[in-house]
């Protein structure tokens, strides 16, 4: 321990906090650490999803978009393109956060998240922020690739809807991913959530069809699926119409629903982190 000229220690007195309110430097460091982690393997984390999404577009366009078929008054390729973009975004947001705590528990590096002087809220913001960043980069990569695909038109009609539903979808899956990484004890557990929860909800959310084609019972079930509002709302931003409802008010209701849902899930995640569930026990 060093002392200054007056003989007093350079360190603060024991128990006296040196970080007040928000640890901005720590939060930024955590965010950049997570961004650099996925960016080092960007071929796998950003560009590979763009290629996979283009394959979806090609297969479904060939299988279901022949003969000039139109859905919601636009060519089939233009109809499914926005849904595929946001689907790639939310899937990668989940993949990013579902790895965080799980990898730390398995590799014995969980202390890297628990020891730094970061509050539970700062930890949440850093990890969710990095996952949303990855989702946005994946969305931009997919959009760029689709601009060169024949028959696809991506002209924003409601930019607010593109930004809001894309952001809400990325945050939703980021939070679900963090809860998964808290609960999981091995990679098989995370794969279980991916294969039996995330993928079915994504595929049955109206990405490739409008729910008006379904039986009324299944239409009701679809409207209970939050992924439906993410995909249809994001599509509304590009096409100016969706199957959420016949009026813009229905789209606003879907936007509000996702916002409230994310707040509830974030509060629940914060409570889990505060309790140290599966982390400190």
**Can you give the pLDDT at residue 5?**
52
**Can you give the pLDDT at residue 4?**
53
Which among 248, 262, 50 is positioned nearest to 160, based on CA atoms? 248
Q: Are 122 and 23 in contact (CB under 8 A)?
A: yes
Q: Are 169 and 234 in contact (CB under 8 A)?
A: yes
**Can you give the pLDDT at residue 1?**
45
User: Could you please report the per-residue DSSP string of 83-99?
Assistant: HHHHHHHHHHHHHHHTT
Which among 202, 141, 125, 193 is positioned nearest to 169, based on CA atoms? 202
Task: Give the helix, strand, coil percentages of the chain, each rounded to 5.
Answer: 70, 0, 25
The secondary structure of residue 12, as a DSSP letter, is P
Q: Are 95 and 174 in contact (CB under 8 A)?
A: no
The secondary structure of residue 13, as a DSSP letter, is P
228: which residues sit within 8 A by CB, 6+ positions away? 205, 206, 211, 222, 244
pLDDT tens string, the chain, 281 residues long: the values are 444 555 555 666 665 555 667 889 999 999 999 999 999 999 999 999 999 999 999 998 888 766 678 888 888 999 999 999 999 999 999 999 998 899 888 888 888 898 888 999 999 999 999 999 999 999 999 999 998 888 888 999 999 999 999 999 999 999 999 999 999 999 999 999 999 999 999 988 988 888 888 888 988 888 999 999 999 999 999 999 888 876 788 999 999 999 999 999 999 999 999 999 988 75
Residue 192 CA to residue 170 CA, distance in Å, equals 20
């Amino acid at each position: 321990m060093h002392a200054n000229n007056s003989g007093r220690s350079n360190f603060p007195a024991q128990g006296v906090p040196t970080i007040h309110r928000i640890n901005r430097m720590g939060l930024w460091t955590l965010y950049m650490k997570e961004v650099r982690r996925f960016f080092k393997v960007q071929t796998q984390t950003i560009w590979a999803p763009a290629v996979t999404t283009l394959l979806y577009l090609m297969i479904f366009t060939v299988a279901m978009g022949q003969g000039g078929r139109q859905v919601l008054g636009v060519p089939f390729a233009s109809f499914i393109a926005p849904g595929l973009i946001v689907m790639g975004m939310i899937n990668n947001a989940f993949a990013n956060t579902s790895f965080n705590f799980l990898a730390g528990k398995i590799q014995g590096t969980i202390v890297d998240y628990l020891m730094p002087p970061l509050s539970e809220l700062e930890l949440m913001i850093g990890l969710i922020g990095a996952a949303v960043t990855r989702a946005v980069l994946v969305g931009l990569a997919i959009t760029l690739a689709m601009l060169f695909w024949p028959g696809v038109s991506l002209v924003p009609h409601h930019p607010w809807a593109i930004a809001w539903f894309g952001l809400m979808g990325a945050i939703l899956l980021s939070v679900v991913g963090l809860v998964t990484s808290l609960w999981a004890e091995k990679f098989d557990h995370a794969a279980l959530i991916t294969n039996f929860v995330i993928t079915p909800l994504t595929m049955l959310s109206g990405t490739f069809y409008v729910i008006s084609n379904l039986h009324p019972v299944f239409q009701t079930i679809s409207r209970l699926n939050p992924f439906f509002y993410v995909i249809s709302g994001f599509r509304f931003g590009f096409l100016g119409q969706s199957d959420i409802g016949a009026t813009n008010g229905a789209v606003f209701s879907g936007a509000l629903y996702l916002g409230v849902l994310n707040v509830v899930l974030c509060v629940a995640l914060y409570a889990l982190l505060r309790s140290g569930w599966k982390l400190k026990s």
